[in-house]
Amino acid sequence: MRDMGFRTKQIHAGVTPDPTTGAILTPIHQVTTFVQDSIDEYMAKGYSYSRGGNPTVRALEEKLTALEGGVDTTAYASGMAATVAVFLGLLQAGDHVVIGDVVYGGTYRFADQFLTKFGVDVSFVDAPDLDAVGAAIRPSTKLIFTETPANPTLKVTDLLAISDICRSAGVLHVTDNTFLTPYYQRPFELGANIVIHSTTKFLDGHNATLGGAVVVDSAELQTQIAFARNASGLVMSPMVAWLTLQGIKTLSERMDRQSANALEIATWLEQHPKVDYVIYPGLASHPAHDLSQKQATGFGAVVCFEVSGGVEVAKVLMDSVELWTLAENLGSVESLITHPVTMTHAAVPRDRRIAGGITDGLVRLSVGLEDVEDLIEALSQALDQVSQNS
Protein backbone atom coordinates (compact mmCIF):
# COMPACT_ATOMS: atom_id res chain seq x y z
CA MET A 1 0.00 0.00 0.00
CA ARG A 2 3.03 2.26 -0.33
CA ASP A 3 1.49 4.40 -3.07
CA MET A 4 -1.69 5.18 -1.16
CA GLY A 5 -2.20 8.07 1.22
CA PHE A 6 -1.64 7.90 4.98
CA ARG A 7 -5.36 8.00 5.82
CA THR A 8 -6.03 5.04 3.52
CA LYS A 9 -3.13 3.09 4.97
CA GLN A 10 -4.05 3.76 8.59
CA ILE A 11 -7.36 2.02 7.91
CA HIS A 12 -6.44 -0.74 5.48
CA ALA A 13 -2.72 -1.61 5.74
CA GLY A 14 -2.07 -5.03 7.25
CA VAL A 15 -5.75 -5.90 7.47
CA THR A 16 -7.67 -8.24 5.16
CA PRO A 17 -11.11 -9.73 5.82
CA ASP A 18 -10.90 -13.09 7.60
CA PRO A 19 -10.66 -15.74 4.82
CA THR A 20 -12.86 -18.26 6.63
CA THR A 21 -15.74 -16.07 7.86
CA GLY A 22 -15.40 -12.78 5.99
CA ALA A 23 -15.20 -10.86 9.29
CA ILE A 24 -14.09 -7.36 8.31
CA LEU A 25 -11.97 -6.86 11.43
CA THR A 26 -8.90 -9.00 12.11
CA PRO A 27 -10.00 -11.75 14.54
CA ILE A 28 -8.51 -11.73 18.04
CA HIS A 29 -6.39 -14.87 17.90
CA GLN A 30 -6.48 -15.34 21.66
CA VAL A 31 -4.40 -18.48 21.68
CA THR A 32 -1.11 -19.81 23.00
CA THR A 33 -0.12 -22.38 20.42
CA PHE A 34 -0.70 -23.23 16.76
CA VAL A 35 -1.32 -26.80 15.60
CA GLN A 36 1.26 -28.14 13.16
CA ASP A 37 0.26 -30.49 10.30
CA SER A 38 3.44 -32.57 10.65
CA ILE A 39 6.98 -32.26 11.94
CA ASP A 40 8.28 -31.75 8.42
CA GLU A 41 5.78 -28.94 7.92
CA TYR A 42 6.61 -27.19 11.23
CA MET A 43 5.87 -23.44 10.93
CA ALA A 44 4.49 -23.90 7.39
CA LYS A 45 1.61 -21.56 8.32
CA GLY A 46 4.00 -19.08 9.94
CA TYR A 47 3.10 -19.57 13.61
CA SER A 48 4.06 -21.94 16.43
CA TYR A 49 3.70 -20.24 19.85
CA SER A 50 2.36 -16.75 20.55
CA ARG A 51 5.58 -15.55 22.20
CA GLY A 52 7.28 -15.88 18.80
CA GLY A 53 4.41 -14.44 16.76
CA ASN A 54 0.62 -14.16 16.63
CA PRO A 55 -1.62 -13.30 13.63
CA THR A 56 -3.49 -10.45 15.37
CA VAL A 57 -0.24 -8.92 16.55
CA ARG A 58 1.18 -9.44 13.05
CA ALA A 59 -1.63 -7.41 11.49
CA LEU A 60 -0.68 -4.47 13.73
CA GLU A 61 3.01 -4.94 12.92
CA GLU A 62 2.27 -4.85 9.18
CA LYS A 63 0.19 -1.71 9.58
CA LEU A 64 2.96 0.06 11.50
CA THR A 65 5.58 -1.00 8.93
CA ALA A 66 3.44 0.56 6.19
CA LEU A 67 2.75 3.75 8.15
CA GLU A 68 6.41 4.35 9.10
CA GLY A 69 7.75 3.25 5.70
CA GLY A 70 10.05 0.69 7.34
CA VAL A 71 11.00 -2.86 6.42
CA ASP A 72 9.43 -4.76 9.34
CA THR A 73 8.06 -4.36 12.88
CA THR A 74 7.84 -6.21 16.19
CA ALA A 75 5.19 -5.31 18.79
CA TYR A 76 5.62 -5.36 22.59
CA ALA A 77 3.85 -5.34 25.93
CA SER A 78 4.67 -1.64 26.42
CA GLY A 79 6.77 1.16 25.00
CA MET A 80 9.45 0.36 27.58
CA ALA A 81 9.43 -3.29 26.50
CA ALA A 82 10.08 -2.10 22.92
CA THR A 83 13.04 0.04 24.04
CA VAL A 84 14.42 -2.80 26.17
CA ALA A 85 14.18 -5.25 23.25
CA VAL A 86 16.25 -2.91 21.08
CA PHE A 87 18.94 -2.73 23.76
CA LEU A 88 18.85 -6.50 24.37
CA GLY A 89 19.03 -7.26 20.67
CA LEU A 90 21.87 -4.90 19.80
CA LEU A 91 24.14 -4.43 22.82
CA GLN A 92 26.61 -6.42 24.86
CA ALA A 93 28.97 -5.71 27.77
CA GLY A 94 31.73 -3.29 26.75
CA ASP A 95 29.51 -1.39 24.29
CA HIS A 96 28.70 2.30 24.63
CA VAL A 97 25.53 4.21 23.75
CA VAL A 98 24.71 7.90 23.43
CA ILE A 99 21.24 8.88 24.68
CA GLY A 100 19.58 12.30 24.60
CA ASP A 101 19.74 13.99 28.00
CA VAL A 102 15.98 14.61 27.90
CA VAL A 103 14.05 11.43 27.11
CA TYR A 104 11.09 9.66 28.72
CA GLY A 105 11.99 9.06 32.40
CA GLY A 106 11.63 5.28 32.06
CA THR A 107 14.13 5.21 29.20
CA TYR A 108 16.57 7.20 31.31
CA ARG A 109 15.99 4.87 34.29
CA PHE A 110 16.54 1.69 32.27
CA ALA A 111 19.72 3.04 30.68
CA ASP A 112 21.08 4.46 33.93
CA GLN A 113 20.24 1.51 36.18
CA PHE A 114 20.20 -1.58 33.93
CA LEU A 115 22.39 -0.98 30.88
CA THR A 116 25.21 0.09 33.18
CA LYS A 117 24.58 -2.92 35.43
CA PHE A 118 25.19 -5.19 32.43
CA GLY A 119 28.43 -3.44 31.45
CA VAL A 120 27.14 -1.02 28.79
CA ASP A 121 28.47 2.54 29.14
CA VAL A 122 25.94 5.33 28.67
CA SER A 123 26.52 9.00 27.83
CA PHE A 124 23.52 11.30 28.21
CA VAL A 125 24.11 14.17 25.79
CA ASP A 126 22.21 17.30 24.75
CA ALA A 127 21.01 15.79 21.44
CA PRO A 128 20.27 19.09 19.62
CA ASP A 129 23.95 20.01 20.20
CA LEU A 130 25.43 18.17 17.22
CA ASP A 131 29.04 18.91 18.22
CA ALA A 132 28.40 17.40 21.65
CA VAL A 133 26.84 14.29 20.09
CA GLY A 134 29.78 13.88 17.68
CA ALA A 135 32.28 14.35 20.52
CA ALA A 136 30.55 11.70 22.64
CA ILE A 137 31.10 8.92 20.09
CA ARG A 138 33.76 6.35 21.01
CA PRO A 139 35.11 3.32 19.12
CA SER A 140 32.79 1.17 21.27
CA THR A 141 29.65 3.24 20.50
CA LYS A 142 26.91 1.10 18.98
CA LEU A 143 23.94 3.44 18.78
CA ILE A 144 22.65 6.95 19.29
CA PHE A 145 19.18 7.14 20.85
CA THR A 146 17.08 10.24 20.23
CA GLU A 147 13.55 11.25 21.16
CA THR A 148 12.01 14.27 19.45
CA PRO A 149 10.12 16.25 20.56
CA ALA A 150 11.44 14.98 23.89
CA ASN A 151 9.29 14.15 26.88
CA PRO A 152 8.58 16.43 28.69
CA THR A 153 10.45 19.59 27.64
CA LEU A 154 9.71 19.25 23.90
CA LYS A 155 13.35 19.75 23.03
CA VAL A 156 13.66 19.13 19.28
CA THR A 157 16.56 17.20 17.76
CA ASP A 158 17.61 17.39 14.10
CA LEU A 159 16.98 13.79 13.01
CA LEU A 160 18.68 14.12 9.62
CA ALA A 161 21.83 15.63 11.15
CA ILE A 162 22.01 12.89 13.81
CA SER A 163 21.52 10.23 11.11
CA ASP A 164 24.44 11.75 9.18
CA ILE A 165 26.63 11.63 12.29
CA CYS A 166 25.61 7.99 12.82
CA ARG A 167 26.34 7.04 9.24
CA SER A 168 29.83 8.57 9.28
CA ALA A 169 30.59 6.86 12.62
CA GLY A 170 29.12 3.51 11.55
CA VAL A 171 26.60 3.44 14.40
CA LEU A 172 22.82 2.99 14.41
CA HIS A 173 20.34 5.82 14.87
CA VAL A 174 17.46 4.71 17.09
CA THR A 175 14.67 7.23 17.63
CA ASP A 176 11.51 7.29 19.74
CA ASN A 177 8.71 8.68 17.53
CA THR A 178 5.96 8.43 20.14
CA PHE A 179 5.15 12.16 20.36
CA LEU A 180 4.53 12.84 16.67
CA THR A 181 3.69 9.36 15.27
CA PRO A 182 4.32 8.54 11.59
CA TYR A 183 1.41 10.79 10.67
CA TYR A 184 3.56 13.86 11.43
CA GLN A 185 7.15 12.57 11.40
CA ARG A 186 8.77 9.73 9.46
CA PRO A 187 12.29 9.19 10.78
CA PHE A 188 13.26 6.64 8.09
CA GLU A 189 12.97 9.45 5.52
CA LEU A 190 15.48 11.32 7.73
CA GLY A 191 17.99 8.46 7.82
CA ALA A 192 17.08 6.71 11.09
CA ASN A 193 17.54 2.93 11.32
CA ILE A 194 15.12 2.03 14.11
CA VAL A 195 11.89 3.73 15.19
CA ILE A 196 10.40 3.02 18.62
CA HIS A 197 6.81 3.66 19.71
CA SER A 198 4.87 3.58 22.90
CA THR A 199 1.60 2.59 21.20
CA THR A 200 0.03 3.36 24.59
CA LYS A 201 -0.06 7.02 23.52
CA PHE A 202 -1.46 8.47 20.27
CA LEU A 203 -1.54 5.20 18.28
CA ASP A 204 -4.05 3.64 20.69
CA GLY A 205 -5.35 7.07 21.65
CA HIS A 206 -8.08 5.93 24.05
CA ASN A 207 -6.27 5.25 27.36
CA ALA A 208 -7.16 1.58 26.82
CA THR A 209 -3.88 -0.30 26.38
CA LEU A 210 -0.17 -0.45 27.14
CA GLY A 211 1.87 -1.40 24.10
CA GLY A 212 5.02 -0.75 22.11
CA ALA A 213 6.57 -1.29 18.71
CA VAL A 214 9.98 -1.34 17.03
CA VAL A 215 10.06 -0.62 13.30
CA VAL A 216 13.36 -1.30 11.50
CA ASP A 217 14.95 -0.44 8.17
CA SER A 218 16.50 -3.86 7.44
CA ALA A 219 15.69 -7.56 7.62
CA GLU A 220 18.90 -8.11 9.57
CA LEU A 221 17.83 -5.74 12.36
CA GLN A 222 14.40 -7.40 12.39
CA THR A 223 16.01 -10.81 12.95
CA GLN A 224 18.15 -9.53 15.83
CA ILE A 225 15.33 -7.69 17.57
CA ALA A 226 12.63 -10.34 17.00
CA PHE A 227 15.05 -12.86 18.52
CA ALA A 228 15.45 -10.64 21.60
CA ARG A 229 11.66 -10.36 21.87
CA ASN A 230 11.08 -14.08 21.64
CA ALA A 231 13.91 -14.85 24.06
CA SER A 232 12.79 -12.27 26.62
CA GLY A 233 9.02 -12.68 26.25
CA LEU A 234 8.35 -8.94 26.04
CA VAL A 235 5.48 -9.57 23.59
CA MET A 236 2.25 -7.68 22.95
CA SER A 237 -0.98 -9.58 23.63
CA PRO A 238 -3.52 -10.24 20.83
CA MET A 239 -6.21 -8.24 22.63
CA VAL A 240 -3.95 -5.19 22.90
CA ALA A 241 -3.00 -5.52 19.23
CA TRP A 242 -6.67 -5.68 18.27
CA LEU A 243 -7.60 -2.57 20.27
CA THR A 244 -4.60 -0.71 18.86
CA LEU A 245 -5.58 -1.73 15.31
CA GLN A 246 -8.95 -0.06 15.86
CA GLY A 247 -7.49 3.06 17.51
CA ILE A 248 -5.00 3.71 14.68
CA LYS A 249 -7.79 4.03 12.11
CA THR A 250 -8.55 7.55 13.38
CA LEU A 251 -4.96 8.58 14.16
CA SER A 252 -4.72 11.37 11.58
CA GLU A 253 -8.06 12.89 12.58
CA ARG A 254 -7.21 12.79 16.28
CA MET A 255 -3.69 14.16 15.76
CA ASP A 256 -4.92 17.07 13.64
CA ARG A 257 -7.71 18.05 16.04
CA GLN A 258 -5.67 17.53 19.21
CA SER A 259 -2.72 19.47 17.74
CA ALA A 260 -4.98 22.33 16.65
CA ASN A 261 -6.39 22.44 20.19
CA ALA A 262 -2.83 22.36 21.57
CA LEU A 263 -1.73 25.32 19.44
CA GLU A 264 -4.74 27.34 20.55
CA ILE A 265 -4.13 26.55 24.21
CA ALA A 266 -0.38 27.25 23.96
CA THR A 267 -1.07 30.61 22.30
CA TRP A 268 -3.61 31.49 24.98
CA LEU A 269 -1.30 30.42 27.84
CA GLU A 270 1.59 32.44 26.39
CA GLN A 271 -0.31 35.70 26.84
CA HIS A 272 -1.66 34.81 30.30
CA PRO A 273 -0.20 37.09 33.03
CA LYS A 274 0.10 34.19 35.52
CA VAL A 275 2.17 32.02 33.17
CA ASP A 276 5.94 32.50 33.13
CA TYR A 277 6.63 30.63 29.90
CA VAL A 278 5.11 28.11 27.52
CA ILE A 279 6.93 25.43 25.53
CA TYR A 280 5.30 24.20 22.32
CA PRO A 281 7.12 23.61 19.01
CA GLY A 282 4.24 25.27 17.15
CA LEU A 283 4.90 28.63 18.84
CA ALA A 284 7.29 31.04 17.12
CA SER A 285 8.97 31.41 20.55
CA HIS A 286 10.12 27.76 20.53
CA PRO A 287 13.87 27.68 19.72
CA ALA A 288 13.37 24.89 17.18
CA HIS A 289 10.13 26.15 15.60
CA ASP A 290 11.74 26.25 12.12
CA LEU A 291 13.40 22.86 12.47
CA SER A 292 10.09 21.38 13.65
CA GLN A 293 8.41 22.63 10.50
CA LYS A 294 11.23 21.29 8.36
CA GLN A 295 11.32 17.74 9.71
CA ALA A 296 7.67 17.16 10.67
CA THR A 297 4.27 18.08 9.26
CA GLY A 298 2.68 18.84 12.64
CA PHE A 299 3.66 19.91 16.16
CA GLY A 300 1.75 17.39 18.25
CA ALA A 301 -0.58 17.72 21.22
CA VAL A 302 1.76 18.10 24.19
CA VAL A 303 2.30 21.54 25.72
CA CYS A 304 4.39 22.48 28.77
CA PHE A 305 4.31 25.60 30.90
CA GLU A 306 5.48 27.12 34.17
CA VAL A 307 3.03 29.03 36.35
CA SER A 308 4.21 32.15 38.19
CA GLY A 309 4.80 31.22 41.81
CA GLY A 310 6.59 27.96 41.07
CA VAL A 311 5.97 24.46 42.25
CA GLU A 312 3.48 25.13 45.08
CA VAL A 313 1.17 27.14 42.82
CA ALA A 314 1.57 24.57 40.01
CA LYS A 315 0.53 21.77 42.38
CA VAL A 316 -2.62 23.62 43.46
CA LEU A 317 -3.44 24.26 39.80
CA MET A 318 -3.03 20.60 38.85
CA ASP A 319 -5.01 19.40 41.88
CA SER A 320 -7.91 21.79 41.32
CA VAL A 321 -8.34 22.25 37.56
CA GLU A 322 -11.60 20.85 36.24
CA LEU A 323 -12.06 18.84 33.02
CA TRP A 324 -8.30 18.14 32.77
CA THR A 325 -7.54 14.79 34.39
CA LEU A 326 -4.49 14.54 36.65
CA ALA A 327 -2.86 11.41 35.24
CA GLU A 328 0.36 10.05 33.79
CA ASN A 329 -0.46 9.09 30.21
CA LEU A 330 -0.47 11.29 27.11
CA GLY A 331 -1.92 11.09 23.60
CA SER A 332 -5.45 10.08 24.55
CA VAL A 333 -8.73 11.69 23.51
CA GLU A 334 -9.13 12.78 27.15
CA SER A 335 -7.09 15.86 28.07
CA LEU A 336 -4.58 15.06 30.78
CA ILE A 337 -2.46 17.22 33.08
CA THR A 338 0.78 15.85 34.53
CA HIS A 339 3.50 16.95 36.93
CA PRO A 340 6.60 15.37 35.30
CA VAL A 341 8.76 15.78 38.42
CA THR A 342 6.57 13.62 40.65
CA MET A 343 5.06 11.42 37.93
CA THR A 344 6.75 10.59 34.61
CA HIS A 345 10.31 11.73 35.41
CA ALA A 346 10.56 10.92 39.13
CA ALA A 347 13.45 8.53 38.38
CA VAL A 348 15.66 11.30 36.97
CA PRO A 349 17.97 12.84 39.63
CA ARG A 350 17.11 16.49 40.40
CA ASP A 351 20.36 18.05 39.13
CA ARG A 352 20.04 16.18 35.83
CA ARG A 353 16.38 17.16 35.56
CA ILE A 354 17.05 20.82 36.16
CA ALA A 355 19.96 20.81 33.68
CA GLY A 356 17.58 19.41 31.07
CA GLY A 357 14.89 22.03 31.84
CA ILE A 358 12.55 19.69 33.78
CA THR A 359 11.94 22.24 36.51
CA ASP A 360 10.00 21.58 39.72
CA GLY A 361 7.08 23.75 38.62
CA LEU A 362 6.78 22.38 35.07
CA VAL A 363 3.22 21.42 34.06
CA ARG A 364 2.68 19.06 31.09
CA LEU A 365 -0.57 19.07 29.17
CA SER A 366 -1.66 16.32 26.80
CA VAL A 367 -4.39 18.04 24.86
CA GLY A 368 -7.37 15.89 23.95
CA LEU A 369 -10.34 16.06 21.64
CA GLU A 370 -12.73 18.06 23.78
CA ASP A 371 -14.02 21.50 22.70
CA VAL A 372 -11.04 23.80 23.02
CA GLU A 373 -13.20 26.58 24.54
CA ASP A 374 -14.05 24.27 27.45
CA LEU A 375 -10.41 23.31 27.95
CA ILE A 376 -9.33 26.98 27.98
CA GLU A 377 -12.17 27.99 30.30
CA ALA A 378 -11.18 25.28 32.79
CA LEU A 379 -7.52 26.41 32.75
CA SER A 380 -8.58 30.04 33.02
CA GLN A 381 -10.71 29.39 36.11
CA ALA A 382 -7.96 27.35 37.75
CA LEU A 383 -5.32 30.02 37.04
CA ASP A 384 -7.59 32.74 38.46
CA GLN A 385 -8.18 30.68 41.56
CA VAL A 386 -4.55 29.81 42.27
CA SER A 387 -3.41 33.36 41.78
CA GLN A 388 -6.08 34.64 44.21
CA ASN A 389 -5.01 32.09 46.83
CA SER A 390 -1.24 32.51 46.46
- The residue ranges that bind ligand PLP (CB under 6 A) are 78-80, 104, 106, 147, 151, 176, 178-179, 198, 200, 210, 212, 344
Least CB distance to ligand PLP at residue 58 (A): 20
What single-letter DSSP state applies at residue 292?
A: H
What single-letter DSSP state applies at residue 143?
A: E
Residue type at position 384: D
R_g of the chain, CA atoms, integer Å: 21
Q: Which lies closer to ligand PLP via its Cβ, residue 212 or residue 383?
A: 212
Q: Which lies closer to ligand PLP via its Cβ, residue 123 or residue 198?
A: 198
Q: Name the residue among 155, 91, 89 with its Cα closest to residue 119.
A: 91
Active site residue 183: no
Q: Which lies closer to ligand PLP via its Cβ, residue 72 or residue 147?
A: 147
What single-letter DSSP state applies at residue 101?
A: S
Q: Quote the Cα angle for 19-23-28, to 5°.
A: 95
Q: Which lies closer to ligand PLP via its Cβ, residue 78 or residue 252?
A: 78
Active site residue 40: no
Least CB distance to ligand PLP at residue 83 (A): 6
Catalytic residue among 72, 158, 176, 204: 176
Active site residue 117: no
Sign of CA dihedral 204, 207, 208, 212: positive
- Please name the helix (run of DSSP H) or strand (run of DSSP E) that holds residue 145, with its range, or none: strand 141-147
Q: For 325, list phi and psi in degrees, rounded to 5.
A: -95, 130
Least CB distance to ligand PLP at residue 229 (A): 15
Least CB distance to ligand PLP at residue 308 (A): 27
Please identify the residue of the shown chain whose CB is closest to the bound ligand PLP. Answer: 79
Catalytic residue among 9, 201, 254, 364: 201
Q: How far apart are CA 390 and CA 386, in angstroms?
A: 6
Catalytic residue IDs: 51, 104, 176, 201
